[in-house]
Structure 1
Amino acid sequence: MTMQYTCEVEIAVARARVVELMADGNRAAEWMPGLASYRAVEGERGRPGSVSELRFDGVPGSGEMIEKVERRDEEHLDVVYLLGPVRNVVHNRFVELPDGRTQWTAEHIFHLPPGMVEGIGEQGQTGFRTNTQRSMETFKAWCEANA
């Protein structure tokens, strides 16, 4: 079963800097609430082919997840997150706007075990989208303050 949604935000920072800041695992805890550790397991963190372990504490969804970077270029950052039986494929797209801002679009495709989508329900699915949008707004504010 899959659950899919897209969120979007505009950031008042040039695209190259946005992608650079997003891929910088050393600073991820500054904008990712509850991130306790972000450890490279394989390859250079944030680069295609890399595998990292993220551990979250004290927030809903606390625990460990694996991050696999599949693609990174000036316009895309495609990542797969694995958390138990859940696989979340995230296609991040960064479009440079004429005024120097960046439009960030994040498409999330959750691959869930049978019955989990029904168990989450429509309200839960809305919660996933709301949390993603909130996280994107948090990154936007942090990015604009650290550009």
Structure 2
Amino acid sequence: MTYDTEIIVALPLEDFFKKLDDPANMKHWQKGLQSYELIYGSPGAIGSKTKLSYKIGKREMVLIETITAKNAPHEFHATYDTKGMHNVQENYFEETADGHTKWVSKNEFIPTKLFYRLMTLLLPGAFKKQSKSYMMAFKQFAEHGTSVATP
């Protein structure tokens, strides 16, 4: 399953990327993020791997992020792996004529278990909605300092 999402953030490209690229900011726009731990490589470098742990309601999930490409401030690509799902994400950033940042995220979800294959077939909108909600949360954090982190 593949899809693209797009958003405009009212920040200049350089400021946008600095906020997006700072791991300390992740908790402010990735709802449910409990921790992140570098498990391989240098922070933010191509090939590095980070363990991301989430808790949403009673559900716990661990993702392994692998950075596959980075051309700051214009591109950031990564894969995210969890039990039953492989996600390839390509993010592109460009400054608009009015000094804002256009963020385009291209996603491909590749299920590795039957249950997740069924989810991608029956509920594709849920994946798109989740991606868009993270982007909107980042926009609110970047523009207004609004955080989704729970105290």
Q: Give the TM-score normalised by structure 2.
A: 0.86
User: What is the total number of aligned residue pairs between the two structures?
Assistant: 144
Alignment of 1:1-147 (within 5 A): 3-59=1-57, 62-73=60-71, 74-113=73-112, 115-116=114-115, 119-120=118-119, 123-146=122-145
Q: Which residue of 1 aligns with 2:148?
A: none
CA distance in 1, matches of 2:97, 2:109: 33
Q: Give the TM-score normalised by structure 1.
A: 0.88
Q: Which runs of 4+ in 1 moved over 6 A?
A: none
1:22 CA drift (Å): 1.3
Unaligned runs of 5+ in 1: none
CA distance in 2, matches of 1:59, 1:108: 25
The 1:130/1:61 distance shift into structure 2, 3 A limit, reads farther
Q: Which amino acid aligns with 2:138?
A: F
1:44 CA drift (Å): 2.5
The 1:64/1:135 distance shift into structure 2, 3 A limit, reads same
> Identity over the aligned pairs, expressed in percent?
23
Unaligned runs of 5+ in 2: 146-151
CA deviation profile, 1:26-69 (whole Å, cap 9, x unmatched): 22111111100011111222221211000001348631110001
How large is the RMSD of aligned CA atoms in angstroms? 1.8
